[in-house]
Structure 1
């Protein structure tokens, strides 16, 4: 065999080996594939049993409350709630969404993105509504359970009750928002939450998911947007702590005088003035502005 024949045979052998080598795709999923993945997840969530959905929703409420508590802890000594202090709070709060996404918990706000499955005709309106209602109830139960445990733990007494004062002041600010402001902040909040969840569908591994969540979630906290599940923990916690004399003395030190807490109540302050407009805003932002837009772009079937 000539030298030229040997080279050609070697080249053919190398090509055959290369063809038989499995191709490993490590790039992030493209947006079209992300949309298809969301559609399949929507079907999976629609078929999940009531008890499973409720249990996972309770866990999500617990995780959000723990993230909010951590956020309060790391920022309670700051002299300002804006700028870098707010960013630090947002970065630490991201822990909550990391726990939810990686453990598969059911978050009311994040689940709004599965409306893409409904718009695409993969699930019924009743399936979407059922999931969101169960998630809302479970999140509420989980968040209120952490109100109980944080109160029993007496962590709010930290730093001469300044942590408790921070919680009361933050809760009080939320019950004094107008309907329009609370609604708009709810819209912006869930746009960012659902964008964070949307980015996670491009991920190949858990580190990708953590990094995908970091900036959208940090943004919503740093900008002071309204997340209904956070408020399910924060405002009830503030309502309980406002009855503690030492906490209110700390509030006066921080506030530079007495704080008007007359609207920090369960009925009008929490439910009417905050929770209702924030929930409506969260639903609009997640279902219409994120799920609806990405359905229109990637899953809509064009008319022939």
Structure 2
């Protein structure tokens, strides 16, 4: 598996961030839409495995297949562009502005949301036979997830909000490491292995991923779970997005950039003092 040195793949991160900022609106939205739809499908797949096997580790082991697929196809998640595009600005790439970074984030958010919402509707339709009956076991579990991870946090007040934010931070520490993993090898097996490991950690640890939640919570609402749209945005999506931004940028993007692009001068070893020879 051809491995790239950190100085090489971090430069690729900056290049990727620059490319995404200057991408057309059409391409940005299409790629984000497909990323949201595929990641949502992977979440549905993993929850189905959990329900059928009763073992959440198996679902976590297989969930990364969706992340690997969307990255190999060149699609974009909000959690990824949170890390990559600011690096192009920090590197002072020509024409890159804060406005361009924010434009990219906004378009990717909308595209991810639309894609995840599409999969959520398909899941809700399939698990209820076109909304003609109560959801099956998988649909019921997805509805319960939405309730537990909105009203559950709200029941703890400020402590629940901070916990939610920190779970978002921890999530994108791992997910953004997976984004970087796609760049550290020039072979498909190498990319997949490097992406698989941190995504497994995030999913098994039940951290909060803004794009996965764009599927889980609207799906729960479609299945009449007992929480509201405002519950979803205030007690999950907004704090999760902010946590994902901080976690990915602070723990992955800035640390790699600081030590592999903006490196400090290497310490030169002082020459040993000449030894005096006694007269």
Structure 1 segments of 4+ aligned residues over 4 angstroms from their partners = 155-158
Counterpart contact for 1:189–1:220, Cα < 8 Å: yes
Which residue in the other structure is 1:87 paired with?
57
Which residue in the other structure is 1:275 paired with?
237
Post-superposition CA distance 1:32-63 (Å, at most 9, x none): 00111111111211111011101111001101
Which residue in the other structure is 2:199 paired with?
217
Post-superposition CA distance 1:195-220 (Å, at most 9, x none): 11112211111111111111100110
* Structure 1 residue 113 displacement after superposition: 2.0
Structural mapping, 1:112-151, within 5 Å: 112-114=82-84, 115-122=86-93, 123-151=96-124
In structure 1, how many angstroms separate the alpha carbons of the residues matched to 2:191 and 2:165? 28
Post-superposition CA distance 1:135-192 (Å, at most 9, x none): 011000111111122222236899x821122111211111122211110000000000
* Structure 1 residue 284 displacement after superposition: 0.3
* Structure 1 residue 77 displacement after superposition: 3.6
* Structure 1 residue 78 displacement after superposition: 4.9
Larger Rg: 1
Which residue in the other structure is 2:126 paired with?
153
What is the DSSP-based 3-state SS (H/G/I as helix, E as strand, rest coil) of the residue aligned with 2:63? helix
RMSD over equivalenced CA pairs, Å: 2.1
> What TM-score do the two structures reach when normalised by structure 1?
0.78
* Structure 1 residue 127 displacement after superposition: 2.0
Deviates more, 1:218-227 or 1:282-291: 282-291
What is the DSSP-based 3-state SS (H/G/I as helix, E as strand, rest coil) of the residue aligned with 1:226? coil
Counterpart contact for 1:63–1:100, Cα < 8 Å: yes
In structure 1, how many angstroms separate the alpha carbons of the residues matched to 2:39 and 2:143? 18
The one of 22, 30, 42 equivalent to 1:55 is 30
Which residue in the other structure is 1:265 paired with?
228
Gaps in structure 1 of 5+ consecutive residues: 1-25, 80-84, 244-260
